[in-house]
Amino acid sequence: MRRLPIPDDVTGFEIDADVRQDLKSLPKTLADDVARNLVMVARLLDTEPEEAYNYSRVALRLASRVASVREAAGFASYMTQRYSEALTEFRAAKRMTGRVDLWPVMADCERGLGRPERALAMAGEPEVKQLDKAGQVEMRLVAAGARADLEQFDAAVVTLQSPELASSAIHPWTARLRYAYADALIAAGRADEAREWFVKAVEADSDGSTNASERLAEIDGVEFTDALDEDAEDEAQESEEPVRKPIAKDEIGDDRMIFEDEEDVEEFYDDDDLEIDEEYDEDSSEEQKPKQA
């Protein structure tokens, strides 16, 4: 079995207590090895999902009968859009634990597989009533997405209308819910209403989980230029004409200073100690020799 590199600072104590408890069914050496791979999955899932997926497959080969491993493998597959694999792993984890908290992401896998009707069917299953508030909101988001997949845009708007949407309280899912509602309104041809909800999404999005501010700017016709865009900067420099500025040269020789105009020169030096070369080109690489006063 190919082993993937794991940094020395990775320890099993970085994983949740319930996962450590889950791993106690394994021999200690094996449990430690699995735990270290699971830590790497957690570390890389958001930033390098393909690498996270590779670590999850190692953990899966080592301990396929551990529910936490199947769940981690499911999320790694989901994040890399391997929806069939993800669904298999989530179903296995649900079967092992009896928990229903994975139900919304399982439904979203059905959407990813091009089966929005199945996702909508899952939204009406008894498992949804067993979800906590956050899970029910996630299920509503998935159902609205499935409606949009079927081009039932008005139905998607209605699906997202809920007490959670109307509430002024801010929860971890509030920004995403408001954003999804604004997006559904756009798709339904109700852009004026959508702007109001993008504003509300921005207000709730303290951690930047959505691009609501960009969507709002798009509606308002505001364009942003990336000041760090090196290509744009290079093009701008190529299009600029060389700027000629006066250079002050003193009797010492090669020491020189560039000024914006002659008044600045006169303020810095005494006129008797220098002369102005108006033809100095600051972009030129040709050597300029000082003139004697």
Residues 6+ apart with CB under 8 A from 23: 12, 31, 34, 35, 63, 66, 68
**Parallel/antiparallel/unpaired status of strands 275-277 and 256-258:** unpaired
CATH class given for the domain over 1-99: mainly alpha
Architecture of domain 100-224: Alpha Horseshoe (1.25)
- pLDDT tops 50 at residue 254: no
Place of tokens 């896998």: 109
1-99 and 100-224 have identical folds:
yes
Q: How far apart are the first and last CA of the chain?
A: 81
64 three-state secondary structure: coil
The set of residues, in sequence order, having a beta carbon less than 8 Å from that of 247 and lying 6+ positions away, is 256, 257, 258, 259, 276, 277, 280, 288
CA distance linking residue 266 with residue 248, whole number of Å? 9
Return the SS3 of 209.
coil
Domain boundaries, the chain: 1-99, 100-224, 241-293
pLDDT tens per residue across span 159-213: 999 999 999 999 999 999 999 999 999 999 999 899 999 999 999 999 888 999 9
Question: pLDDT confidence of 252, banded at 50, 70, 90?
Answer: very low
H/E run at residue 248: strand 247-249
Provide the mean pLDDT of the chain: 82
Confidence of residue 93 (pLDDT cuts 50, 70, 90): very high
Supply the DSSP symbol for 258.
E
Q: What are phi and psi of 256, to 5 degrees?
A: -150, 155
pLDDT higher than threshold 80 for residue 98:
yes
Calculate what percentage of the chain has a pLDDT beyond 70. Answer: 71
pLDDT of residue 246: 44
Question: pLDDT per residue over 263-277, tens digit each?
Answer: 554 554 444 444 444
DSSP 257: E
